[in-house]
Amino acid sequence: MNVIEIKNLTKTYGKARGITNISFNVEEGEIFGFIGPNGAGKSTTIRTLLSLIYPTGGSAKIFGKDCIESAHEIAKDIGYLPSEVFYYDNMKVMDLLKYSASFYKKDCWKRIMELAEIMDLDLNKKIDDLSLGNKKKVGIVQGLLHDPKLIILDEPTSGLDPLMQQKFFELLEQVNKKGATILFSSHILSEVQRLCDRVAIIKEGQIVQVEKISILKENNHKKFKIETKEKISPAFFQLAGVNNVEAHDDTISFLFRGDINTVMRKMAEIDIVNLWIEEPDLEEIFMHYYVKEA
């Protein structure tokens, strides 16, 4: 079942670019990454899903209901953590969380205590006095306290120290195991690689690709570096799928994409001293989506 269905979603603001014809689905129970550089349209898409802004074209459904018409109904089961958290300053953390919980018709108190414990959050402090990281924690607890079925995170990790980030990811994995679907927007690739099952890549307001992380990695180049006894001419590796051949003295390196056996057979013909085959990291995979076409 699809928890989120986005169809041809478009939002234009006068001259400024918004998003154009965005379509993708997020299935129940998955952690879906939404990745792209700053200003690509991630927040615009998310804010439309939350009906904070209204689309100029297309539609989006959450839990099968139109996300504009049924916004307040859907919101019962959504937990949202914005990239910048600012809450009513002259409140204590506890009062804010109570206020937040008062919108949901269930008792959230036990969950608040659990979450505060996990995130190491002092409930008696004034929000005014909290550091950025601690405000972020308030945001996290606030977003999860009603056990939402769908959690929408817009660049959630900024301001969290690595230890807290780790705890936060563990927390997300935990609620995901219990059945929550997560939409995780980020421009930090390692986060997405660590958490997500699938990703949508957005660039300049358009979806470039929606793919499983594992497939993205499989489909991509492998980096070969071979050290040989004798110098080999770059022409030797003229095979389909080989790119960027570089030869220096007795090493030769290239990128390869395709059936790995063909390269292996070719390599068997030469005398090898050492061999490196590397998986490119996501960084390198995404880089070619990121770089603007010249």
Partner 1 sequence: MNIFLYELKAYRKSTLVWTFSLLAIVTMFMSFYPSISKDIDQFTKLLEGFPEPVRKAFGLQLDNMGTIMGFYSYMFLYLTLCGAIQGMNLGISVLSKETRDKTADFLLTKPVTRVNILTAKLMATAVSLILTNAVYMIGAGMMASQVKTEDYSMKIFVMISLTLLFIQLIFLVLGLLLSVLFARIKSVLTVSLGVVFCFFFIGMLAATGGDEAKRFLSPFKYFDTAYIIEHSSYEAPYLLAGIGIIAASLITSYIAYMKKDIHAG
Binding site for partner 1 (CB under 8 A): 43, 47, 50-54, 71-73, 75-76, 78, 80, 82-84, 86-89, 99-100, 102-104, 142
Quick one: 86 or 249, whose CB is closer to partner 1?
86
Quick one: 64 or 234, whose CB is closer to partner 1?
64
CB of 83 to partner 1, least distance (A): 7
Quick one: 23 or 70, whose CB is closer to partner 1?
70
Catalogue the E-assigned strands of the chain.
2-13, 16-27, 31-35, 57-62, 65-66, 78-81, 150-154, 181-186, 198-203, 206-212, 222-228, 242-248, 251-256, 272-278
CB of 102 to partner 1, least distance (A): 4
| C-alpha 84: how far from chain center | 17
Quick one: 63 or 237, whose CB is closer to partner 1?
63
3-state secondary structure of 2: strand
Sheet arrangement for strand 57-62: 16-27, 2-13, 57-62, 65-66
Query: The tokens 């986060």 sit on which residue?
Result: 191
Quick one: 103 or 276, whose CB is closer to partner 1?
103
CB of 88 to partner 1, least distance (A): 6
CA torsion sign for 104, 105, 109, 114 is negative
CB of 93 to partner 1, least distance (A): 14
Q: What residues pair up with 263 in beta bridges, in sequence order?
A: none
CB of 281 to partner 1, least distance (A): 30
Residue 294 tokens, joined: 């010249």
Q: What residues pair up with 210 in beta bridges, in sequence order?
A: 200
* d(C-alpha 34, C-alpha 43), whole Å: 10
* d(C-alpha 46, C-alpha 51), whole Å: 9
Non-local CB neighbours of 39 within 8 Å, separated by 6+ positions: none
CB of 90 to partner 1, least distance (A): 8
Quick one: 22 or 263, whose CB is closer to partner 1?
22
Quick one: 153 or 252, whose CB is closer to partner 1?
153
Quick one: 43 or 157, whose CB is closer to partner 1?
43
| Residue 94 contacts residue 123 (beta carbons within 8 Å) | yes
CB of 127 to partner 1, least distance (A): 11
| C-alpha 124: how far from chain center | 33
CB of 95 to partner 1, least distance (A): 9
Residue 82 tokens, joined: 């914005």
